[in-house]
Amino acid sequence: MPEEVGWVAEDVPPDSTPLTVVLTQALDEVSRRVEEVTAGEGLSLEQWLVLRRLAAHGDQAMRDLVADTRLNDSTLTRVVDRLAALGLVYREADPVDRRRVRVTLSARGRAVHERLAPAVAEAERDMTDDPALLAALARLARPRAEA
C-alpha cells in the first residue's frame, strides 16, 4: 500500500489517476481543512459558504444563494435553518416580491465571520503550498493536445 503524503499517494503519477478522482480528493481536503477552522463555532463548510457570501455581498435571496454557493434548494434550506437557529442569520420576505425570501447576516453572524475569516484564509493559503494540490491544479492548467 503506498504511503500517503497530503491527500494523494506519492507514488501515483499525476496522469494515472482520473481527474474526477483527483478533484474529489482535493475537494475533500479543502472541506476538511476549512471545517477544522469552522468546527469551533459548530459550522459546516456549507454553513461557512453561506456566511461568507452574506458577509461579502449583503442580504441575498435564497435563489441567489443557491446559485452562489452551488448548494441545492433542500440543502440550502437546511443550512439556513441551522444558521437561523444559531442566531447567525435571519430570513424575511422580500419587500418588493413577498414570494421571495431574503437571508441577512445578523450582528452575531458578522462577528463569527470576522473571527473565522482570517483562519479560513490562512488554511486556504496553506493549501496552495501543498505539492499534491499544486500538481492537480497544474494538470488542469496544461494545454490539451490537439485532436
Joined together, the cell numbers standing for residue 134 give 499544486
**Residue at 3 is within a domain:** no
**Residue at 11 is within a domain:** no
For the domain that residue 34 is a member of, what is the CATH number? 1.10.10.10
In the chain, what is the straight-line distance between the N-terminal and C-terminal CA atoms, in Å? Answer: 36
**pLDDT value at 2 more than 70:** no
**pLDDT value at 12 more than 60:** no
Q: DSSP of 18-49, one letter per residue?
A: -HHHHHHHHHHHHHHHHHHHHGGGT--HHHHH
The burial class, CB within 10 Å (0-12 / 13-18 / 19+), for 137 is: middle
Please, are residues 34 and 47 in contact by the beta-carbon 8 Å criterion?
A: no
Residue 93 β-bridge partners:
101
**Residue at 4 is within a domain:** no
Tens of pLDDT, residues 113-140:
999 999 999 988 888 777 777 777 777 7
**Residue at 143 is within a domain:** no
Rounded CA-CA distance 39/34 in Å is: 8
Predicted pLDDT at 67 = 87
**Residue at 10 is within a domain:** no
**Residue at 48 is within a domain:** yes
Q: Which of 118, 131, 108 is nearest to 37 (CA)?
A: 118
Q: How many CB atoms lie within 10 A of CB 43?
A: 24
**Residue at 49 is within a domain:** yes
Residue 26 domain boundaries: 18-133
How many structural domains compose the chain?
A: 1
Cα-Cα-Cα-Cα torsion 26, 31, 33, 36, nearest 10 degrees, comes to -160
Please indicate, yes or no, whether the overall pTM of this predicted structure exceeds 0.85. no
Give the single-character DSSP code of 144: P
Tens of pLDDT, residues 64-113:
999 888 899 999 999 999 999 999 999 998 888 888 889 999 999 999 99
